Amino acid sequence: MKNFKFYNPTKIIFGEGTIKEIAGEIPREARVLLTYGGGSIKRNGVFDAVQSALSGRTVDEFGGIEPNPTYETLMRAVEMIRRGGHDYLLAVGGGSVIDGVKFIAAAVPYEGDPWEIVQSYGAKIKKSLPFGTVLTLPASGSEMNNGAVITNRALNAKLPLAHPSLFPRFSVLDPKVTYSLPPVQIANGVVDAFVHVMEQYMTYPVGAKLQDRFAEGLLLTLVEEGPRALTEPENYDVRANLMWCATLALNGLISAGVPQDWATHMIGHEMTTLCGLDHARTLAIVLPALWEIRSAEKKEKLLQYAERVWEITAGDEQARIDAAIARTREFFKSLQVGTRLCDYNLTEAIIPTIVERLKAHNMTKLGEKRDVTPELAEAILRQCL
């Protein structure tokens, strides 16, 4: 097991009807900016619950944070805050809204060009405004981590950033607010959480037995509950399990002391920006293909995954690995998520541009051993056809 520091200050408030508890988390005298996306919260009752919890407070609204939040949109919120003097942000939505608020929180006090915050992957952040979240889509884990992914439309760039000041002060997780999610987004959330676990698990053994079993527990729960969320959309326990899985999949717990990959995500981000595919769907395409290309380097963990998640123990090593990869593709397809470029009417024509953009964004030494080069990324993308 590698040395590690585990720090996570985010307070989680979990369960049905907990939105009202934000009143006790936000200072009474705060000038609050309530931020949200395209308006789903105004249709599913979440906005009303937030407003009644904060009645009598100073609360303004900023809506329109798009999926894959853009620098251009977020800077409008930064200007609004600099004019309005808001000192507490509330993100109400999914990963895009929460990521957007993380950038806004860091950009408002930033004295230089705010894009430097993203270009430096968060390193140039000095301080951030305090913020809390009300999560409406279990997927990204952003509600309990200090990372964000921001798109610059003008530059065709979708880049990750992280900073210790970007942990939410609190996050409210009410499984019932996810009932209004369309099936596509339910499936996206399960797949994104599943691949987050894999980015921190499917590498090479370092004797981290507990982290492995935590990760395998998350995978088993996602496999068991994911399809049920589509067939039993108002089963509270199913939604509660999925919501908590998505949060724990990317809050630092299972990454402590182990190597991390993230090549699938970096390649997926370029695919989202170029082709407009949902984040999770790019991952469903790239992950199995990456395993096929890297099965030798990942052999031990692929075999452990095959046995502990899919109970595959018969056959030689390659047969067991192939069977585990096949079961993974089948799992994604059981959620109506395609796992090949052709499932989205995409062809090899996109590959050169994705490879060029990986180079342009310094994504040239990816993976747990920093050996996924642009050439290897190209081979992985060809395996996605």
Which positions lie near Zn ion, rule CB under 5 A? Answer: 192
Place of tokens 């507490």: 88
Nearest distance from residue 73's CB to ligand NZQ, in Å?
A: 11
Q: Out of Zn ion, ligand NZQ, none, which partner does residue 145 contact, by CB within 5 to 8 A per kind?
A: ligand NZQ
CB of 306 to ligand NZQ, least distance (A): 24
Q: Is 145 exposed, middle or buried (0-12, 13-18, 19+ CB in 10 A)?
A: buried
The listed partner (ligand NZQ, Zn ion, none) that binds 354, CB under 5 to 8 Å by sort, is none
The site partner of 147 among Zn ion, ligand NZQ, none (C-beta below 5 to 8 Å per kind) is ligand NZQ
Nearer to ligand NZQ, 279 or 298 (CB): 279
Q: Name the minimum Å distance from CB 303 to ligand NZQ.
A: 26
Select 162 or 220, whichever has its Cβ closest to ligand NZQ.
162
Q: Which is nearer to ligand NZQ, 150 or 312 (CB)?
A: 150
Binding site for ligand NZQ (CB under 6 A): 37-40, 44, 67-68, 93-97, 99, 136-137, 139-142, 145, 147-149, 177-178, 180-181, 185, 188, 192, 250, 265, 279
95 binds, among Zn ion, ligand NZQ, none (CB under 5 to 8 A by kind): ligand NZQ
Which of Zn ion, ligand NZQ, none is residue 325 near (CB under 5 to 8 Å by kind)?
A: none
Nearest residue (CB) to Zn ion, 192 versus 261: 192
68 makes contact, choosing from ligand NZQ, Zn ion, none, with CB < 5 to 8 Å by partner type, with ligand NZQ
What's the min distance (Å) between Cβ of 76 and Zn ion? Answer: 25
Nearer to Zn ion, 59 or 258 (CB): 258
Nearer to ligand NZQ, 188 or 328 (CB): 188
Of 108 and 198, CB closest to ligand NZQ: 198
Task: Name the CA radius of gyration of the chain, rounded.
Answer: 20
Q: Measured from the CB of residue 284, what is the shortest distance to Zn ion in angstroms?
A: 11
Are 171 and 315 in contact by the 8 Å Cβ rule? The answer is no
Interacting partner of 139 out of Zn ion, ligand NZQ, none (Cβ under 5 to 8 A depending on kind): ligand NZQ
At closest approach, how far in Å is the CB of 177 from ligand NZQ? 5
Smaller CB separation from ligand NZQ, 94 or 114: 94
Least CB distance from residue 324 to Zn ion, whole Å?
Answer: 21
Spatial separation of the C-alpha atoms in residues 276 and 348, rounded to whole Å: 16
Q: What is the 3-state secondary structure (H, E, C) of the chain?
A: CCCCCCCCCCEEEECCCCHHHHHHCCCCCCEEEEECCCCHHHHCCHHHHHHHHCCCCEEEEECCCCCCCEHHHHHHHHHHHHHHCCCEEEEEECHHHHHHHHHHHHHCCCCCCCHHHHHCCCCCCCCCCCEEEEECCCCCCHHHCCEEEEEEHHHCEEEEEECHHHCCCEEEECHHHHHHCCHHHHHHHHHHHHHHHHHHHCCCCCCCHHHHHHHHHHHHHHHHHHHHHHHCCCCHHHHHHHHHHHHHCCCCCCCCCCCCCCHHHHHHHHHHHHHCCCHHHHHHHHHHHHHHHCCCCCHHHHHHHHHHHHCCCCCCHHHHHHHHHHHHHHHHHHCCCCCCHHHHCCCHHHHHHHHHHHHHCCCCCECCCCCECHHHHHHHHHCCC
Q: Of ligand NZQ, Zn ion, none, which one sits near residue 188, judging by CB under 5 to 8 A according to partner kind?
A: ligand NZQ
Task: State the nearest-atom distance from the C-beta of 66 to ligand NZQ, in Å.
Answer: 7
